[in-house]
Amino acid sequence: MNYTHQLIFLQQQFDTWMLYFFAYGFIGWLWESGYVSWHKHKWVNSGFLNGPVIPVYGFSMTAVLAIVSPFAHNLVLLYLLSALTVTVIEYVTGWGMEKLFHARWWDYSKVPLNLNGRVALPISAFWGLGVVFIVKCIHPFIARIVTHLDMRYGMFVVVLLLTLFMFDVGFTIANALAFGAATKRIGDAIADKKAEIEARLEDSPRAQESRQWLEEYRASKRDGKLPRLNYVQRRLLESFPNLQLHDTVTNAKDIEDLVALLREKARHK
């Protein structure tokens, strides 16, 4: 094989793996969005990015395909290696996102046999079964689609998808960094309001009314200094039901409720 043929072969391999990454990132986005939407009883564009790709699924499946391909006919090894691979990627991704954005985006603390709330044995067992099903039943179909796209459009479709993906990553990270500062201000304001109500009402049963702080904000006209979250930041609040913000004691659900109230009041001004 001469140098030119080697370059062509490497390009084809790169195109194939990148298309696998986007295909499984899209399938993961469908799964996550459907799951969160079902729980919230409304459509939610789930995942960290704005586009229909969840990278952790794309990375997990491409890693699995690369690692387990020699063991694809051994169901036990396929299952064990798949569960282990996905678990390692999920743990590293969760740890990295916590450090970068000061927030825990998913939490398995209530699931038995969890490790720091980032992974859990029952979840890993489920992922193992899911990957075996994908490799055996879905991947042959995906492989045909990827081969068709690669043969018909070559590197053009990969460059296009990569360009859109990198723009989405940069845009989302910029908004997520600002998201941390904004949610801290809103969360601290909610905590102050709750403390104010508790001090005012002392031992009154009304002090235990968990939503009274929200009603006071509804009646107040002094909320203009609180930051307004943009679409991307509001979507991040909605997309992760178990989101935990490290920079404020206020839970994400309370912040989401106040953000919705501020938007409602702004529309009626």
Amino acid (one-letter) located at 265: K
Q: Where are the alpha helices (DSSP H) in the chain?
A: 3-40, 55-68, 75-101, 121-133, 139-153, 155-201, 212-219, 231-239, 252-267
Asked if pLDDT for residue 135 goes beyond 50, the answer is: yes
Which pTM value belongs to this model? 0.86
Average pLDDT score over residue span 173-177: 92
In 3D, which of 132, 151, 127 has the Cα closest to residue 19?
Answer: 151
Q: What is the pLDDT of residues 251-269, one digit of tens each?
A: 999 999 999 988 888 777 6
Q: What is the pLDDT of residue 165?
A: 97
Average pLDDT score over residue span 54-65: 92
Q: CA-CA distances (angstroms) from residue 236 to 26, 83, 179, 258?
A: 18, 27, 9, 15
Q: CA-CA distances (angstroms) from residue 192 to 36, 128, 213, 237, 245?
A: 31, 45, 10, 21, 17
Asked if pLDDT for residue 197 goes beyond 60, the answer is: yes
Q: What is the pLDDT of residue 255?
A: 94
Amino acid (one-letter) located at 268: H
Q: What is the pLDDT of residue 150?
A: 84
Strand, coil or helix: 213:
helix
The single-letter DSSP state of residue 228 is: P
pLDDT band with cut points at 50, 70 and 90 for residue 207: very low
Q: What is the pLDDT of residues 89-109, one digit of tens each?
A: 999 999 999 999 999 999 999
Q: What is the pLDDT of residue 3?
A: 72
pLDDT band with cut points at 50, 70 and 90 for residue 246: very high
Which residue is associated with the tokens 């203009």? 224
Q: What tokens does 149 get?
A: 């796209």
Q: What is the pLDDT of residue 234?
A: 93
The single-letter DSSP state of residue 136 is: I
Q: Distance (Å, rounded) from C-alpha 66 to C-alpha 78?
A: 12
Q: Hey, where are the domains in the chain?
A: 3-169, 173-267
Amino acid (one-letter) located at 46: S
More confident residue, 154 or 137: 137
